[in-house]
A = this chain, B = another copy of it.
Amino acid sequence: MTVPRETIAQRMNAFGKACDRLGIKVTHQRMEIFRVVISTEEHPDAVTVHRRVKKRIPTVSLDTVYRNLKLLADHGLLAIVGMSQESLRFDGNMQEHHHFACVKCGLIRDFSSGAIGGLTMPDEAKTFGAPLSLHLEVKGICATCQKSAKGG
């Protein structure tokens, strides 16, 4: 349930190299923020990360935590769970369906899939409690954003 010490050490090592490769500085704050996130399986929010980083760096600001979490997510070192930076979205389609979500503009579209229609609840999900629903979440770039990227 906890992340092994050696796994963390390995990833901290890889982190330094990744920063060099990406041309971003390896600051004390940045390292500790990354360490907090990879050291837990509980998917903390920014305020939680901030609280934990403050134990080592009491003056770290919340803005720095946000800035770095987003930067690291942009570079693929972390992931943002759920809809990124969006407000709540509402869906009037109550039939079983899946989602395509554009990571650029936040567009969300429903689809249903013949091939995936008969998806069954994986046993692994049952170990956490009682599953209620199951759907696919596809992230990608929507056609509109693809076009505007070419244009720009």
Binding site for B on A (CB under 8 A): 11, 34, 37-47, 49, 69, 73, 76-94, 98-100, 102-103, 107-113, 115-116, 119-125, 127-146
Of the residues B78, B80, B98, B124, contact of A125 by C-beta under 8 Å = B98
Q: In whole angstroms, what is the CA distance A140 to B139 when docked?
A: 22
Of the residues B39, B132, B133, B142, contact of A129 by C-beta under 8 Å = B142
| Chain B residues, Cβ within 8 Å of A109 | 41-43, 128
Interchain CB contact under 8 A, B44 and A89: yes
New A-B pairs, 10, CB < 8 Å, besides A80-B89, A103-B132: A37-B91, A40-B92, A44-B89, A45-B86, A98-B125, A102-B129, A111-B124, A129-B142, A131-B138, A131-B139
Interface centre among A92, A115, A138 (most CB of B within 10 A): A92
Interchain CB contact under 8 A, A83 and B80: no
Interchain CB contact under 8 A, B124 and A112: yes
Interchain CB contact under 8 A, A45 and B90: yes
Of the residues B45, B87, B142, contact of A45 by C-beta under 8 Å = B87
Q: List 29 A-B contacts (CB under 8 A).
A: A34-B92, A37-B91, A40-B92, A41-B110, A42-B107, A42-B109, A43-B91, A43-B109, A46-B87, A47-B87, A76-B94, A78-B90, A78-B91, A79-B91, A79-B92, A80-B91, A81-B91, A83-B83, A100-B128, A113-B122, A113-B124, A116-B122, A119-B136, A129-B142, A129-B146, A131-B138, A131-B140, A132-B140, A136-B136
